[in-house]
Structure 1
Amino acid sequence: MNVAVSVESPTRALAEFAANLTYEDLPADLVAQAKQCILDSLGCSIFGSNKPWTLAVARVVSRLDQKKSASAFGMNLRADPTGAALINGTSAQGFELDDCHDQSMSHYGAGVVPTVLAMAEAFGPFSGKDIILATVVGYELGTRIGNTVSPHAFNRGFHPCGLTSTFAAAATAGKLLRLNVDQFVSALGLAGSQAAGLMASQYGAMAKRFHSGKACQNGILAAMSAQEGLTGVRNVLEAPYGGFCSTYAETYDLGYATKGLGTDFEMRHNGFKRYSSLASSQTSVDALRALRELHGIKGEDVEKVFIETTAMVHRHCGWPYVPAETITAQMNLPYTAAVTLLEGNAFIDQYTDEKLRDPTIMDLANRVEVVIAPDLDALGPHEMRAVRVTVTMKSGESFTHAQTYRSGHWKNPLSDDVLKAKFRDLAGRVLAPEAVKEVEAIVSTLETQGEPAPALGTALQKLRA
């Protein structure tokens, strides 16, 4: 049964919240988290900038010869904000390193950060506080709208990044543009009309990377069009026929949109990734790494792996591994489990082209079984990626480890130092050393910056020699 809420219109309630929120309303921990989200997303985007999927999108944008007012990160290309955000959103989701909000199953950094920085650079001046505020608004609306349809939209085959990140990007752009409440309602309605993305892309297509870039681009178009008077579906969330929730999910809960709105910030439930795979496999990576460390396990001595988990994880990544593209391995639990046991990690170097068809990895992946455990499946939405992993050795010994929250989940957070180290590692592979330091310094002091976007845009294009 779909759940009604006490407010007359959840869509309008979110619009009122977004339009009226001020920087002074933000708790200190949200300011700090916004800066973490921005820095982490920039690192992911910089690293993903030279990947084939990002370069393909960049070539398209370059051919369109748009007004050069915003920077594409990690490359010497400028475009209008829709083009720059399309490129940067694609690269931010480009190697499965980007942040994750578990309950809504989406990655809002790739939809919000490229949007806010492209808009700030193209249409400034905007202060660091403006950027932080718009970032919080984007995450808050994206996560809340995502929760209303999760996991049901995913179960029907829709990719949440293409769906709910479109709302997040529209909210981010709308806040920078200082939309009023009615304009915000239309921006959300226009975003809902553009929300799209198919999960079949996870089995072997670059299209999955492209969904977050399109969410950025579509969100900008929604906000700017609303500012110019184009009206959107005014009850886009709650419309019983043709609305966002009623169309994308057989079951949905509109209460998630407004419960605690303005006091209990859903952005606090956003987390970060330690590994370079989909979030649904990362509890298993943690469990397998723990078993390796505790028992001195070596992958070549493993006979089989038995992973008990939830229905969502089983559907998302528990399918048999058949090599196709990079995304196929990153979205597949048997491959990720096998490479973790063999190499001790599931980061960038575990998903190189030469490893996708490595016979040793494939042989062990074929001996990984993923099943649904009713007790794990009965847990709450924040525990939807829980696992219990049993490794059986060729000697006959068996070892088991349970993991409820992945490293980086809000209930198992990564420290600020770890996140900064991740940024330096990723950004340092593309940018000049002085540029890496400059970007980190600007973001770390963002609330004190008068107009940071131009300097960030310049630093994000200072490439390694």
Structure 2
Amino acid sequence: MTMTNRDLSQDLAEFAANTRYVDLPLGAVEAAKKSILDTIGVILGASGMEPAVRPIVELVTDAGGKEEASILGFGGRVPAAAAAFANGTLAHGLDYDSQTPWGAHPDSSLVPALLALAERKGSVTGKDLITAVAIGQELFIRLRCNVGWNMDWNLSSVVGTYSGTAACGSLMGLTAEQIAHSLGISSLTAGGTMEQIFGVGSDVRGLYAGFIAQSCVNATLLAGKGMHGMQNLFEGEAGIFNVYFGGNFDRAKMLAGLGVDYLSEGMTYKYWPAVGNAHTYIHAAIELVRENPFDAADIAEVRVYVGNFAERMALPLHARQAPQTMMDAKFSLPFTVAVALVKGSMLLSDFSIDTLKDAEVLSVASKVVPVQDAELNWDLKLPDGKVEVQLRNGQIFTRRGSDVPGTPERPMTVEELAKKFDDCARVSIRPLPTDDIDRVTTLLWGLEECNNLTEIIELVR
């Protein structure tokens, strides 16, 4: 912790206000474009695949209001904050959205908020959108990696509120002073604990991104109208760092190389529609089946070795072995590992009401038990998981989930991201035809050449 007379909010605001497209390295530009494509894709997928998002879509549709921005997939236009609320909800609804190499999700709140404001403002170019996304991602990562986190607050909510609001200020052309004020305004809604992640039976685990996106839009518009926030938001006596993180933060690391070094170049994109911490176990299970073909009926027990976070994905064990909702299924280590072992793969279609009742998957899930291993604790970098399958004949197969697809060690290719977008667009509430899918993909890969986002929005709304 370092105390200065200048609150961190001012530094973050100046970065957001002063950064231009020409300042971005190629890696940050490419990461932003990938994130926009990926986020729009998973929004479309959730519109057709996740029933838990429907109440929020219905709420904003029923409320109506000034037609400023689109609800993607469903169509219809509503006020910008309401569109951000709906689209943010959709973006994290499948738990298929991008994440940083250190976990947590900036894009599912960031991109919906920016798209809503872009429609409201009009005449926003592709370069404007890319720049704002890059700003938001960079600030998110620097905050996420340099605070003392005890798995108490939901970092995606707490951190994402500020990084998303700063990015929105950039898109809307606010001054550094106005952006600093907007950060203070958005602090009134920054929160949410990890119980929404660890608990079972709730719909909100996948929906928090909508609340963040809505807050980012409202705070930005209010600051633009002259509303002031607090001056010592982060480092004041009762500021964010003291209250949320016990005064444990590293200001110097947050600002080191800001505007020069872009950590956002390492953004990762999910290969499977499940919580990111489960991917190493999913990969291990899939590879076990590939390397040692066996029949799922021959499995006697499956041991998943877990650290402090992964253990939460396996407890309470009975509830995790037989999840009752698709959101719970995607956070269940027994269930996701069982799907991987039974099917030898994992597809978007594997998370459906029918799969929750699949007798073969449930049988294997009932045999999955957690084994504590402190070496697999999640400190900053996501640890490699370990899966051990014991057959009825006594044979034991063990695999670590290393070189996981969709991680910095094995990033998704452009072709794989395009295929993921295609898969999601085809299960939208209103499936996109092939020509439209191809056109959207082409436009987004060349987004820096786009002078108006209207055609893209019209194709996916």
Under a length normalisation based on structure 2, what TM-score does the superposition of the two structures give? 0.92
Assess, with a 3 A threshold, how the Cα gap between structure 1 residues 192 and 297 changes in structure 2: closer, same or farther.
farther
- The answer to whether 1:183 aligns with 2:178 is yes
Q: In 1, Cα distance between the equivalents of 2:136 and 2:314?
A: 28
User: Counterpart in 1 of 2:240?
Assistant: 244
User: Counterpart in 2 of 1:362?
Assistant: 362
User: Counterpart in 1 of 2:450?
Assistant: 449
Assess, with a 3 A threshold, how the Cα gap between structure 1 residues 254 and 127 changes in structure 2: closer, same or farther.
same
Assess, with a 3 A threshold, how the Cα gap between structure 1 residues 315 and 250 changes in structure 2: closer, same or farther.
farther
Q: In 1, Cα distance between the equivalents of 2:24 and 2:124?
A: 18
Residue 347 (structure 1) shift: 2.7
Q: In 1, Cα distance between the equivalents of 2:108 and 2:18?
A: 25
8 Å CA contact retained: 1:307, 1:370:
yes
2:426 to 408, 428, 431: 428
8 Å CA contact retained: 1:312, 1:385:
no
8 Å CA contact retained: 2:42, 2:424:
yes
Assess, with a 3 A threshold, how the Cα gap between structure 1 residues 402 and 141 changes in structure 2: closer, same or farther.
same
8 Å CA contact retained: 1:114, 1:216:
yes
Identity of aligned residues (%): 26
Residue 7 (structure 1) shift: 8.5
8 Å CA contact retained: 2:126, 2:451:
yes
1:12 to 6, 10, 13: 10
User: Counterpart in 2 of 1:49?
Assistant: 47
Tell me the alpha carbon deviations over residues 27-67 of structure 1, each in whole angstroms, 9 at most, x when there is no partner: 01111111111001110001112332332212111121111
8 Å CA contact retained: 1:49, 1:75:
yes
Per mean C-alpha deviation after superposition, the further-off stretch among 231-240 and 126-135 is 231-240
8 Å CA contact retained: 1:10, 1:257:
no
Q: In 1, Cα distance between the equivalents of 2:187 and 2:74?
A: 31
Q: In 2, Cα distance between the equivalents of 1:232 and 1:214?
A: 19
Q: In 2, Cα distance between the equivalents of 1:405 and 1:167?
A: 32
Assess, with a 3 A threshold, how the Cα gap between structure 1 residues 11 and 369 changes in structure 2: closer, same or farther.
same
- The answer to whether 1:289 aligns with 2:286 is yes
8 Å CA contact retained: 2:95, 2:273:
yes
User: Counterpart in 2 of 1:77?
Assistant: 76
Matches within 5 A, 1:374-413: 374-377=374-377, 381-382=380-381, 384-404=382-402, 406-413=404-411
Tell me the alpha carbon deviations over residues 62-119 of structure 1, each in whole angstroms, 9 at most, x when there is no partner: 121111121111112111111111111111111111111142x321121111111111
Q: In 2, Cα distance between the equivalents of 1:110 and 1:146?
A: 15
Residue 237 (structure 1) shift: 2.2
- The answer to whether 1:271 aligns with 2:272 is no
Residue 189 (structure 1) shift: 1.6
Tell me the alpha carbon deviations over residues 311-331 of structure 1, each in whole angstroms, 9 at most, x when there is no partner: 122235554114221111111
Tell me the alpha carbon deviations over residues 228-279 of structure 1, each in whole angstroms, 9 at most, x when there is no partner: 22122322222342x2232223463233422332222121232110111100
Paired AA for residue 100 in structure 2: H
Give 3-state SS (helix, strand or coil) of 2:207's partner: helix
Assess, with a 3 A threshold, how the Cα gap between structure 1 residues 375 and 251 changes in structure 2: closer, same or farther.
farther
Give 3-state SS (helix, strand or coil) of 1:101's partner: coil
Tell me the alpha carbon deviations over residues 404-431 of structure 1, each in whole angstroms, 9 at most, x when there is no partner: 4532122321111111111111112222
Q: In 2, Cα distance between the equivalents of 1:143 and 1:205?
A: 27
Higher relative contact order (CA 8 A, sep 6+): 2
Paired AA for residue 298 in structure 1: D
Assess, with a 3 A threshold, how the Cα gap between structure 1 residues 317 and 413 changes in structure 2: closer, same or farther.
farther
- The answer to whether 1:304 aligns with 2:301 is yes
Paired AA for residue 297 in structure 1: F
8 Å CA contact retained: 2:268, 2:408:
yes
Paired AA for residue 274 in structure 1: Y
Residue 392 (structure 1) shift: 1.1
Tell me the alpha carbon deviations over residues 281-302 of structure 1, each in whole angstroms, 9 at most, x when there is no partner: 1100011111111111332222
Q: In 2, Cα distance between the equivalents of 1:316 and 1:162?
A: 20
Q: In 1, Cα distance between the equivalents of 2:362 and 2:5?
A: 53
8 Å CA contact retained: 2:113, 2:217:
yes
Q: In 1, Cα distance between the equivalents of 2:258 and 2:179?
A: 16
Per mean C-alpha deviation after superposition, the further-off stretch among 443-452 and 301-310 is 301-310
Assess, with a 3 A threshold, how the Cα gap between structure 1 residues 261 and 298 changes in structure 2: closer, same or farther.
farther
8 Å CA contact retained: 1:318, 1:334:
no
8 Å CA contact retained: 1:275, 1:282:
yes
Count of paired positions: 451
Paired AA for residue 418 in structure 1: E
Q: In 2, Cα distance between the equivalents of 1:298 and 1:260?
A: 53
- The answer to whether 1:147 aligns with 2:145 is yes
Assess, with a 3 A threshold, how the Cα gap between structure 1 residues 106 and 218 changes in structure 2: closer, same or farther.
same
Gaps of 5+ in 1: none
Per mean C-alpha deviation after superposition, the further-off stretch among 51-60 and 74-83 is 51-60
Paired AA for residue 233 in structure 1: M
8 Å CA contact retained: 1:82, 1:217:
yes
- The answer to whether 1:211 aligns with 2:208 is yes
Under a length normalisation based on structure 1, what TM-score does the superposition of the two structures give? 0.92
User: Counterpart in 2 of 1:346?
Assistant: 346
Q: In 2, Cα distance between the equivalents of 1:354 and 1:445?
A: 39
Q: In 2, Cα distance between the equivalents of 1:139 and 1:254?
A: 18
Assess, with a 3 A threshold, how the Cα gap between structure 1 residues 14 and 90 changes in structure 2: closer, same or farther.
same
Residue 440 (structure 1) shift: 1.0
Assess, with a 3 A threshold, how the Cα gap between structure 1 residues 72 and 137 changes in structure 2: closer, same or farther.
same
Give 3-state SS (helix, strand or coil) of 1:148's partner: coil
Measured on the aligned residues, the alpha-carbon RMSD in Å equals 2.0
Q: In 1, Cα distance between the equivalents of 2:362 and 2:248?
A: 39
Q: In 2, Cα distance between the equivalents of 1:224 and 1:96?
A: 29
Give 3-state SS (helix, strand or coil) of 2:104's partner: coil
Paired AA for residue 392 in structure 1: Q
Per mean C-alpha deviation after superposition, the further-off stretch among 216-225 and 347-356 is 347-356
